[in-house]
């Protein structure tokens, strides 16, 4: 049985409202769940930049974009910042990989065709 924390009256009201002073216990804090795909996107974005290039970056962009859509659809989900950073890191990873690949290709082409040889 619940008792009013304000005045000690026994509360029988289904809404836990105190019949004497009208005190209502605070609603339990709703825990916001963190969107799993947003975390995965962030982790893969970091992996794509540090350990293994390109493929984790691509997956980070995909997972982050999907997580953003789920976050928009469900306001109780948290992790929008994770998803945003994951997608950004993913694009950086892709850009670095693409840029590096281009650099290797052009330098090898120039060293092959270069007039200084
Ligand atoms: Zn009371």
Q: Ligand 1 centroid vs 29 CA: distance in angstroms?
A: 21
pLDDT in tens, 3-12: 888 899 888 8
Ligand 1 centroid from CA 18, angstroms:
5
Distance 10 CA to ligand 1 centre (A): 8
Q: At what angle do helices 36-50 and 55-73 cross, to 10 degrees?
A: 160
Rounded to the nearest angstrom, the distance between the alpha carbon of 25 and the centre of ligand 1 is: 10
Q: What is the pLDDT of residues 4-49, one digit of tens each?
A: 888 998 888 888 889 889 888 877 776 778 999 999 999 999 999 9
Mean pLDDT of the chain: 89
Residue listed under structure tokens 């994770």: 82
Q: Which residues pair with residue 11 across a beta bridge? A: 2
Express as a percent the part of the chain with pLDDT over 70.
92
Is residue 46 within 8 Å of residue 37, measured between CB atoms? no
* pLDDT computed for residue 115 by the predictor: 60
Contacts of 70 (CB under 8 A, 6+ apart): 35, 37, 77
Euclidean distance between CA atoms 72 and 64, whole angstroms = 12
Give pTM, 2 decimals.
Answer: 0.65
Number of other CB atoms surrounding residue 19 within 10 Å: 12
27 CA from centroid of ligand 1 (Å): 16
Residue ranges with CB less than 5 Å from ion ligand 1? 4, 6-7, 9, 18, 20-21, 23
Ligand 1 geometric centre to CA of 28 (Å): 19
What pLDDT is recorded for position 114? 60
3-state secondary structure at position 20: coil
| CA 19 to ligand 1 center in whole angstroms | 7
């Amino acid at each position: 049985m619940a008792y009013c924390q304000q005045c000690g009256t026994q509360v029988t009201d289904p809404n836990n409202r105190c019949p004497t002073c009208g005190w209502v216990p605070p609603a339990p804090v709703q825990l916001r769940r963190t969107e799993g795909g947003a975390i995965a996107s962030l982790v893969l974005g970091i992996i794509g930049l540090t350990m293994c290039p390109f493929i984790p970056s691509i997956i980070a962009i995909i997972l982050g974009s999907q997580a953003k859509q789920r976050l928009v659809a469900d306001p109780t989900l948290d992790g929008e910042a994770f998803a945003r950073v994951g997608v950004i890191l993913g694009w950086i990873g892709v850009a670095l990989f693409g840029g590096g690949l281009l650099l290797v290709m052009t330098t090898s082409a120039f060293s092959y065709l270069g007039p200084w040889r």
